[in-house]
Amino acid sequence: MRRIGILGGTFDPPHHGHMVMAEYVYNEMELDEIWFIPSHLPPHKQKAAVSSEERLQMVEQAVAGNNHFKVSSVELDRKGKSYTIDTMRELTRSNKEVKFYFIIGGDMVASLSQWHNIEELGKLVQFVGVTRPGYDWDGKIPVYHVEIPLLEISSSLIRERASVGKSIRYLVPDNVYQFIKEHRLYESD
């Protein structure tokens, strides 16, 4: 049975926090691949600042050169709100011989119980929470923990810095940095 990690996100833009968490979980959980899945409309967040197409292209740039990182456009193709249950129903139907691990940041672990159809989702995937040492979780849905070096990088930080003309170099993979500059993303008008 293949073991696939899923990293869903808005990726507005993708940054080194995403890359480190994906690589650590790949390594620590002995997975075969990690699939990055950009949301079309994030379920519990404001609409992304840039288009789905631009976010998809940035994620493709971010994973380029890593053979075990792949990108799936399943949520962008489905349109509408990107509930994880819909995505995982679709992926488990079309990948019978795969065990899926859904990777989330430590900040999301506590709100897991509010996810759409969480009971069913918990049967389709094994959740993996990427957390700081000592993070406690006593919810109903079991979550494996993988510790990563704490990286206080977020897409919001990057959007904020770019909008006031500050450098975002080294917060994102270099080709994502080049893409953002070329397309003048996140600049204020």
Ligand X SMILES: Nc1ncnc2c1ncn2[C@@H]1O[C@H](COP(=O)(O)OP(=O)(O)OP(=O)(O)O)[C@@H](O)[C@H]1O
Ligand Y SMILES: O=C(O)c1ccc[n+]([C@@H]2O[C@H](COP(=O)([O-])O)[C@@H](O)[C@H]2O)c1
Q: Does 131 bind ligand Y (CB under 6 A)?
A: no
Select from 5, 9, 14, 129 the one that contacts ligand Y (CB under 6 A). Answer: 9
Q: Does 82 bind ligand X (CB under 6 A)?
A: no
- Alpha helices (H) in the chain, listed in sequence order: 16-28, 52-63, 74-78, 84-94, 106-109, 118-124, 155-163, 174-182
Binding mask 98-117 toward ligand Y (x if CB under 6 A, else -) reads -----------------xx-
Q: Kindly tell me the burial class for residue 110, based on how many C-beta atoms sit within 10 Å of its own C-beta (0-12, 13-18, 19 or more).
A: middle
Q: Does 122 bind ligand Y (CB under 6 A)?
A: no
Q: Which stretch binds ligand Y (CB under 6 A): 41-49, 57-65, 89-97, 156-164?
A: 41-49
Burial 6-21 (b: 16+ CB within 10 A, else e): bbbbbbbbbbebbbeb
Residue showing the smallest CB distance to ligand Y in the complex: 8
Q: Does 11 bind ligand X (CB under 6 A)?
A: yes
Interacting partner of 115 out of ligand Y, ligand X, none (Cβ under 5 to 8 A depending on kind): ligand Y
Per the CB < 8 A criterion, the answer to whether 152 and 21 are in contact is no
Interacting partner of 119 out of ligand Y, ligand X, none (Cβ under 5 to 8 A depending on kind): none
Nearer to ligand Y, 31 or 76 (CB): 76
Angle, helices 52-63 vs 174-182, to 10°: value is 150
Q: Does 151 bind ligand X (CB under 6 A)?
A: yes
